[in-house]
Amino acid sequence: MGGPFADIDDTLFANKDALSEEYQPDTILERNDEIDQFRNALTDVLFGRNPKNVFLYGKAGVGKTAVTKYMLDALQDEVATREEADELYVHNHNCNGDSAFAAVRALVNQLYPDDDREFPKRGLGLSDAFAELYQEMDRIGGTHLIVLDEIDHLDDANDVLYELPRARANGHLDEARVGVIGISNNYSFRQRLSAKVKDSLMEHEISFSTYDATELCTILEDRATLALIDDAYEPAVIAKCAAHAAKDSGSARQAIDLLRAGAEVAEEGGDGTVTEAHIERGRDRAQRGRLRDKIEEQTMHGQLVLEAIARLEADGETPVRSKRAMDVYQTVATEYGEEPLTTLKSIQNHLSDLSMLGFLVKTERNDGRAGGIYFEYELSLEPDIVFDVRADAA
């Protein structure tokens, strides 16, 4: 008797990995202006000069990380052919939920030889971690580009961004050069940095706009050709996915997810061609999954603030002001055994971030001289989605 998979002998996918989030295309489409700006910012590396600091801003799914990897791979290939260029080392770290110490420690561990020790998690401070980082960089020499993804989620970002760009000028590095490449979904991130950090960074900023429907069609056609077998989809499917994503978020990731989800619906139903109807059914599935993923990507305290608003929403208490949100947040944090944040400003920052990401609706109110101007918040999705994610994480 055959097993449960014995009757599966056909598929609509030629290379399903081409529709996955981690797929890195050989060619970056519809980002020529951003690539030109990035190239200009990295030119100094080719001549053995100190690299510029580069910061990339834009919503999730608009190509920031993909363009960064593409450009740094190309830069490393070019450096290998240039006599003037120092050897180039690229270090990647995702800052989501990290303290400054944790981020620097992770970079130190990347620099250690494979068979060496790890930098201690406890017992030493941030200055010790920086000292070890500089020692390892000088041991290796060359130019080091440090890519800090989701840098807006890094606690104490000021400490990292003040220290690293000034390392050589302050005499911490003799043999090595260092540059920072920050990637952020939050356009207001720079405004939160201290004045001395802004002055020392002197960064080159690259803003990534959302994709329009025409650009998304170009990207989807390329991915569909790679991912699906011949004649596996109706032509209108590409336009349908592009239109939905352009209207919603302008995210290539969302458009690609829609195509993948629609193809999965078709394949599960035994259909040989992906149609617009499959895309609509897949869209419902993808939307819920995408929201779950976005919630899970938030820091612990960001999730706790979101759950607080979800509870208020479920109880019919929204829209709500930040002080009331803080009261419920502290209750939620305590229930989970987490030490709650204690300043209203920190809660307002989380509320602002969650609004910017589309989880909350932020409305300005003006009560005149008596009440002044303030903001109120309410949930922009079903509370049950938040509760489901938090229940899984508990």
User: pLDDT (tens digit, 9 = 90+) per residue, 337-371?
Assistant: 999 999 999 999 999 999 988 899 999 888 777 77
Pairing of strands 204-207, 54-57: parallel
Which has more pLDDT, 365 or 116?
365
The CA-based angle 52-58-62, given to 5 degrees, is 110
Q: Which domains does the chain have, with CATH numbers?
A: 32-207 (3.40.50.300), 211-295 (1.10.8.60), 298-393 (1.10.10.10)
Q: What would the two tokens of residue 308 be?
A: 């607080």
Helix (H, G, I), strand (E, B) or coil at 21: coil
Is the pLDDT score of 287 beyond 80? no
Sheet with 320-321, strands from edge to edge, namely 320-321, 373-379, 360-366
Sheet with 142-149, strands from edge to edge, namely 88-94, 142-149, 176-184, 54-57, 204-207
Percent of the chain, pLDDT > 90? 76
Short-list 175, 179, 124, CA closest to 146: 179
Q: Which residues are annotated as a binding site?
A: 62-66, 211, 223
The pTM of this model reads 0.75
Region 256-263: mean pLDDT is 95
pLDDT in tens, 191-228: 888 888 988 888 899 999 999 999 999 999 999 999 99
Q: Which residues are annotated as a binding site for ATP?
A: 62-66, 211, 223
Positive/negative CA dihedral, 219, 254, 57, 208: positive
